[in-house]
Structure 1
Amino acid sequence: MPESTVIYTHGHHESVLRSHSWRTAQNSASYLLPYIKPNMHILDIGCGPGTITLDFAILIGPTGHITGIEPSPGDVLTQARETAASRGITNVEFKIGDIFELEEMFSEQTQKFDIVHVHQVLQHIDRERVSEALMQMRAVTKPGGIVAVRETDFAAMTWFPVSGGMAEWVDTYQLVARANGGEPNAGRRLVSWALKAGFARDKITASAGTWCFSTPDQRDWWSRLWADRTLSSNFKTTTLKSGLADEEKLNRIADTWTEWGKAEDGWFAILNGEIICRVD
């Protein structure tokens, strides 16, 4: 397997996996749930620690099968396998795989997938190759199946109280993500990307989903998570390396997150674009 074609801005620091492990099919893929049926074969690209993947595995039942892939080896796939074992889920496999090599990877597989799913991945790949990635996803989807995508839109995030420090955070994040070649405002572009990938407009169903953090526990969790990401994850490394911020600025952003988490009236909302693309 060649070096990954995905430059993941966050990496797999503990603070990142803390967020990914919170994700479930219900809170992160509810738009897709009506389409999932027993006995299906599903491909989950960028599966991370596998929490969404394993929820899908339960929904398709023991005679269905799901494959979760990540672009590079590491502890995250080990964690996914261990979680599957601890939950007694056996209709799943986790393996190394690249979104741009799906046709090659599954060329010997006799049955294509009923659903090919990706969550918070397209924003991190080369923005000039997103449509190519979607074409790869379509190529391994059976006729009558669907390609499903959900992506955050950073510019559409909103919060209270109003804070210049939070605006500094989101502006810095977008600069770093684009320096890595990605598109942090992917959510609003999904329909456009799907059209460029060759999907007809009448085969694309678009929607939007949200995450909201407001209760004391939610604020504490979300603010600590982002303060830790800012100072400890790959985000810090790539930000400093690119010269887009210095230590002082990153410390200021982390402090902003900590202060927001303490605000009794604190509220943070994230908009996610979603598409279901039907394959002929």
Structure 2
Amino acid sequence: MATYTHGHHESVLRSHNNRTIANSAEYLRTHLAADASLLDVGAGPGTITVEFAERVAHVTATEIGETELALSRRAAADRGLTNLDFSVEDVHALSFADDSFDVVHAHQVLQHVADPVQALREMGRVAKPGGIVAARDADYAGFLWFPLIPELDEWLRLYRSAARANGGEPDAGRRLLSWAKAAGFEDVAATASTWCYANAEDRAWWGGMWADRILESALARQAVDSGLATRADLERMSAGWRQWADAEDGWYLVPHGEIIARA
């Protein structure tokens, strides 16, 4: 397993808790049949997971540890959902039997794993014949923003370096189709979608979240401990994020690759 670069600080969960089917899994919506069983790999705080559970017959949520899995358990309990179960799993070697699920889904997972091709093979193994393997990942090298604030360039270089040091691939979005082909899938539809932040409320949320995240998350600790950045560097990047958030013409684009592969 690679190391999860972001960690689970409040500033990270602030971002993850905003994810829904509409903004993060719309490409999969038409494949969510009411009688389907779905495996959600790397469920995180469970905000997408519980929406799946409101649309399909049964959902199994996985995470890398019990502490992480507790977040999605809590989200399910808060909605009073009973059609879910939970399992600590390594996506490289899932514990489930072959042909177990109609849909196998992973959002922002493959960019963090040590071997995304093996992960996709495992996702395909546990999908039923003719079932769906779906993945969506951001592509950090494709991030775009305005105004052109040098500290954000510095932040992006730092993040990509840290992610690769942890064994991940931050520019995963553009690689999903290639990884799926390497994993043996023959029927793969590749698409793309974006997050875009361009109004005052979105700028305050996205910029404020990253201004805190670069100072307080696991990424910040790694950067200082490994010598990738000093605390002063992180403070400067945080100020750059707040400068962007305060810009009346601020605009930010996060591109994502997506795949729907038939098992």
Which TM-score band applies after superposition, normalised by the shorter structure? over 0.9
Partners of 1:185 and 1:82 in 2: how far apart? 31
Q: Across the two proteins, how many residue pairs are aligned to each other?
A: 263
In the TM superposition, 1:100-249 aligns within 5 A as 100-102=92-94, 105-107=95-97, 112-126=100-114, 129-200=115-186, 203-249=187-233
| RMSD, aligned CA | 1.1
Selected match of 1:97 from 76, 89, 94? 89
SS at match of 1:89: coil
| Structure 2 residue ranges without an equivalent (≥5) | none
SS at match of 2:23: helix
Identity %: 48
Shift of the alpha carbon at 1:252?
Answer: 0.7
The TM-score normalised by the length of structure 2 is 0.97
Deviations 1:162-213 (A, max 9, x none): 111111111111011111111000000011111111112xx00000010011
Selected match of 1:271 from 250, 255, 258? 255
In the TM superposition, 1:13-52 aligns within 5 A as 13-52=9-48
CA contact (8 A) 1:6 1:71 kept: no
SS at match of 2:27: coil
CA contact (8 A) 1:123 1:151 kept: yes
The residue that corresponds to 2:69 in the other structure is 77
| Structure 1 residue ranges without an equivalent (≥5) | none
Are 1:66 and 2:59 counterparts? Answer: yes
Shift of the alpha carbon at 1:119?
Answer: 0.4
Partners of 1:84 and 1:133 in 2: how far apart? 25
SS at match of 1:139: helix
Partners of 2:46 and 2:219 in 1: how far apart? 22
Deviations 1:255-279 (A, max 9, x none): 1001111001111010000000001
Partners of 1:228 and 1:41 in 2: how far apart? 38
The TM-score normalised by the length of structure 1 is 0.91
Shift of the alpha carbon at 1:219?
Answer: 0.6
CA contact (8 A) 2:2 2:166 kept: no
Selected match of 1:88 from 80, 99, 107? 80
CA contact (8 A) 1:210 1:269 kept: yes
CA contact (8 A) 1:191 1:206 kept: yes
Kindly provide the amino acid, as one letter, of the partner of residue 184 in structure 1: P
Q: Which runs of 4+ in 1 moved over 6 A?
A: none
Partners of 1:73 and 1:214 in 2: how far apart? 37
Partners of 1:197 and 1:239 in 2: how far apart? 33
Kindly provide the amino acid, as one letter, of the partner of residue 240 in structure 1: V
